[in-house]
Amino acid sequence: MKTYIHNRSKSFGHAFNGIRYFLAETPNARIHLLVSLFAISLGIVFSISLQEWCITVLTIAMVLSMEALNSGLESLADASVPEYHPLIKKAKDLAASAVLIASLGALAIGFFIFAPYILAL
């Protein structure tokens, strides 16, 4: 049992290291984080519903997760093949497109949630 708990705590340690790398070394992560804080601020100002909070939090988590996966894939690709390779470029472009798709979806969700509150002003 002690080994299990020790291994789990090490896993969490690795995950928190990843979050540190993500925020310290990924400029786009900081941009996404600022936009997320803006959305959270709007949620507080407009007192959005519990359901809207759930959708907002899930959307923020989706975008940040996609950006983290994209950054991890880019790091792995750069380490494995330092010189230009068309398949590495394709993989990196596809991973970046996942972030873009998630971000555009988040923008639409933000519009659907916050536009009625803003228009009511």
**pLDDT reported for residue 2:** 72
- Its pTM surpasses 0.85: yes
pLDDT tens digits, residue range 30-79?
999 999 999 999 999 999 999 999 999 999 999 999 999 999 999 999 99
Q: Is the confidence at residue 90, as pLDDT, over 90?
A: yes
Q: Is the confidence at residue 8, as pLDDT, over 70?
A: yes
52 carries an active-site annotation: no
Catalytic pick from 25, 67, 74, 83?
67
Hey, what domains does the chain have and what are their CATH numbers? 27-119 (1.10.287)
Query: With bands split at pLDDT 50, 70 and 90, how would you rate the model's confidence at 1?
Result: low
**pLDDT reported for residue 24:** 96
Cβ neighbours for 66, distance < 8 A, ≥ 6 positions apart: 98, 99, 101, 102, 103
